[in-house]
Amino acid sequence: MGRTGIIENLPLYPYQFSSAIRIMQFQNSLKKVFSVTLKFIWQKFPLIFGIAAVLGACATGPQITRTQEVSESADSPYQKVLVITLLSSFDSRRYLEDEVVKQLSELGTDAVASTSMMNTKTPVTRETFLAMVQEIDADAVLVTQLVSLESKGKMKDMNPQATRNFRPTYYYNVWSVELEEYVEPQAAEFKHSLVVATQLYSALSREVVWAIESKSRIAQGFDQQANYSVFVDEAKAIATHLSKDGLIAK
């Protein structure tokens, strides 16, 4: 964004301050514009981003806590697992389910993503998933859902660049000053604290036989391109802990 101003036939030193004041006024106006923009983005954040916000993020690996040890009634190891993710975005559900299926398959366990058996219009109900269990003859159901998502956003100032051209005039100690300043828009940065819960159900007893909770911290730029590292890390953690606890074939 460019700003050009020409000050002619003015003493150099006094009007440098005048020029600086005008620049500051311009920058303050710019900050107000981006402050309003951030407010609008933040108000719309749950609708625009949801869980998909983590796609364009830089995150540390999830911290895993077992919230339920393996139940004595668990009829493991399980051979056929239906993988279900409960999120508001169908694409986010599909991304995570596909990664979990991939990780389980690499460990030798047959798994099927629920999103591969439905579309965006299929009702997300208990009856829908029970029908899937019967169709693929699954002996276990793995359910992952978002427990909480806390987000904070702020604007980061960018460094302005300015050029000044000074030219003498016909008058003593009077100069022509040309100032051009380019100010980049402020950058929006978001930080998220994400908690995801995963439960394993026995298809035979229809009871929870194992559960974990994962916590991740994520830093994300508003215009950052999407990547899938968060889903990959989450899927690896789920599959690894299922294997460690003897719930799937190794």
Beta strands across the sheet bearing 2-11: 2-11, 174-182, 161-168
Q: Which residues pair with 149 in a beta bridge?
A: 194
Q: Where are the alpha helices (DSSP H) in 83-153?
A: 90-106, 126-136
For 94, which DSSP code? H
- Give residue 69's pLDDT: 96
39 C-beta neighbours (distance < 10 Å), count:
11
Provide the total of helices (H) and of strands (E) in the chain, helices listed first.
Answer: 5, 10
What backbone phi and psi angles, to 5 degrees, belong to 61? -60, 150
For 125, which DSSP code? S
Q: How far is CA 108 from CA 70, 164, 239, in A?
A: 20, 68, 11
- Give residue 180's pLDDT: 79
- Give residue 150's pLDDT: 81
H or E element that contains 12: helix 12-43
CA distance 2 to 184: 9
Tens of pLDDT, residue by residue over 205-244, are 999 999 999 998 877 665 555 557 888 999 999 999 999 9
Query: Model pTM?
Result: 0.65
- Give residue 3's pLDDT: 38
CATH 3.30.160.150 residue ranges of the chain are: 52-153+188-244
Residue with tokens 């991939």: 102
- Give residue 246's pLDDT: 95
Q: Which residues pair with 114 in a beta bridge?
A: none
82, 126 contact by CB (below 8 A): no
CA distance 135 to 147: 29
Which residue ranges of the chain lie beneath pLDDT 70? 1-60, 157-159, 183, 220-227, 250
Tens of pLDDT, residue by residue over 32-49, are 433 333 333 333 333 333
Specify whether domain 52-153+188-244 bears CATH 3.30.160.150. yes
